Amino acid sequence: MSLSICLLAAEVAPLSKTGGLADVAGALSKYLATAGHDVRLFTPLYASIDQSRFPMRPIDGLQHVPLQIGPHHYVFSVVTTRLAGSDALVYLIDCPVLYGRPAIYTTDPDEHLRFLAFTRAVLAACQRMRWSPQILHCNDWHTAFGPLFVKAQLASEPLFARTRSVLTIHNIGYQGILGAAAIADLDLGPKSHLLHQDELRAGTINPLRHGILYADAITTVSPTHALEICTDEYGMGLQDSLRMRRDALTGILNGVDYHIWDPRNDRYLPEHYDSDTLSIKTELKRALIERLGLTTSATIPLAGMVSRLASQKGIELMFESLPQVLEWRDLGFVALGSGEPQYERFLAELAQSFPGRVVFRQGYDDELSHWIEAACDMFLMPSLYEPCGLNQMYSLRYGTVPIVRRTGGLADSVEHYVPDTGQGTGIVFNDFNSAALEWALNTALDLYDEPSQWTQMVRNGMARDFSWERQGRRYVEIYRSLISAR
């Protein structure tokens, strides 16, 4: 039986992207559409979306719709476009006052209104389309009030009476906390008692917590992270609510869209390769070395990193370990990313200290991110926490050995290589400190010096399958269990 699924995401690749949420929202909806479900993926129409690349079609009956959010009055329209290579339609909420800004996320005082209005507009669009979603699937804090809005206000309408809600937590580190004064913007009226009262008294409202409290099912993006977020160490203050709802919480590892992330068909690469044609990977390495102006040769190992430069990503573990390793061993390093100034400064200074061996490209560059995956030998992800992480799974497919800390989805997707058995796909370290990362880097470099071991590890990784065909099914199982539990 085909299901009707309304997916809400603040970013969707390739339209708008700052991180993995975009990749997952786009790929999951493609999977669901291919599996025959009526999936409608909603996202804001940001000014940064290139409408010449993605032609938009207005939807009849959804133009110039008034929307009241507390005392604020907005008008929105809905346009659609298709995701390449699939029947999946994306519905974009067009409201230039809210989304016509230079960046996807802002620190503007009305940031919460941008996403409250988005969530409300999606529900209003369902009403106007007379479309009854069986599943309302919200993602992260931006849309986490969706389940509460359905329960408190819409469940009495025939259209939503059978709707069940899912909240996926991609990143518990971002909760979108509001001051209690914003209570009027939630328009809950007499249902305001449903808000978390202790928090209200303390002067705050936490969108993500309300998603956790009211969603019919909660998922996060790896089995290990589902356990982690119930602990004081990783729960970021939400562990009590998560423990209370433990029975509704599941961890589902993200999938990889191999139409986009596979060296056998990567659209950015001039030549393609697989595990039988690894000499082409070496050619690509040569080309990247030349393009970046590195002075290392193709026989010297090249490590890469592509990352938001946020404290989550463990960049500070590199502060001591990376200069040490670069001092003592032959290694090239290319980093692409942007974010917090102290991490950008560290990488810029590292490039200055090791000219010709280290390159830092500050910014966001989709094409270069694919090249780094393809041309490097190793890929660094020493994360403090990592709900899933996509780049380590991309790296495995590209034969680029991931060096990761054993946390969240990194622990669930990379297996430490054991030379005696020839089993394993990468280098995994446990402790969050520089010495542990230094050990991991040295272990990788030692293995690189043993070509047969290295090739074995690379091939093991390339054979792993994290496709959405596997992971997407798990979401459908959850959707179905909610519907049949009615």
Residues lying near ligand ADP in the complex (CB under 6 A) are found at 19-21, 23, 306-308, 336-338, 364-366, 369, 388-391
**Region 23-42 residues binding ligand GLC, contact defined as CB under 6 A:** 24
Long-range contact list for 78-84, CB < 8 A, 24+ apart? 78/121, 78/125, 79/45, 80/56, 81/15, 81/54, 81/55, 81/56, 81/57, 83/26, 83/29, 83/30, 84/14
Closer to ligand GLC by CB, 21 or 41: give it. 21
Closer to ligand ADP by CB, 144 or 150: give it. 144
Q: 29 with 83: CB under 8 angstroms? A: yes
Closer to ligand ADP by CB, 311 or 324: give it. 311
**Region 407-436 residues binding ligand GLC, contact defined as CB under 6 A:** 409
Contacts of 433 (CB under 8 A, 6+ apart): 317
The rounded distance, in Å, linking the Cα atoms of 383 and 454 is 23
Q: 378 with 333: CB under 8 angstroms? A: no
- Number of shown-chain residues binding ligand GLC (CB under 6 A): 14
- Residue whose structure tokens are 């067009």: 94
Q: How many residues does the chain have?
A: 486
The answer to whether residue 254 forms part of the interface with ligand GLC (CB under 6 A) is yes
The answer to whether residue 241 forms part of the interface with ligand GLC (CB under 6 A) is no
Q: How far is the CB of 476 from ligand GLC (least distance, A)?
A: 18
Q: 76 with 67: CB under 8 angstroms? A: yes
Name which of ligand ADP, ligand GLC, none residue 288 binds, using a CB cut-off of 5 to 8 Å depending on partner kind: none
Q: Tell me which residue of 430, 446, 174 sits closest to 314, measured CA to CA.
A: 430
Q: Which of 216, 257, 316, 386 binds ligand GLC (CB under 6 A)?
A: 386
Angle between helices 451-462 and 434-448 (to 10 degrees): 110
Using the contact rule CB under 6 A, the part of the chain among 92-100, 245-253, 380-388, 468-476 near ligand GLC is: 380-388
Using the contact rule CB under 6 A, the part of the chain among 18-26, 155-163, 359-367, 412-420 near ligand GLC is: 18-26
Sign of CA pseudo-dihedral 11, 262, 396, 301:
negative
The answer to whether residue 388 forms part of the interface with ligand GLC (CB under 6 A) is yes
Q: Which of 207, 301, 389, 399 binds ligand GLC (CB under 6 A)?
A: 389
Q: Tell me which residue of 265, 271, 264 sits closest to 288, measured CA to CA.
A: 271
Q: How far is the CB of 205 from ligand ADP (least distance, A)?
A: 25
Using the contact rule CB under 6 A, the part of the chain among 19-27, 40-48, 289-297, 363-371 near ligand GLC is: 19-27
The rounded distance, in Å, linking the Cα atoms of 459 and 330 is 23
Q: How far is the CB of 120 from ligand ADP (least distance, A)?
A: 26
The answer to whether residue 307 forms part of the interface with ligand GLC (CB under 6 A) is no
What is the per-residue binding string for ligand GLC in 169-188, x denoting contact by CB under 6 A? -xx-----------------
- What six digits make up the tokens of 5? 């699924």
Q: How far is the CB of 251 from ligand GLC (least distance, A)?
A: 11
* Residues found near ligand GLC in the complex (CB under 6 A): 19-21, 24, 170-171, 221, 254, 386-390, 409
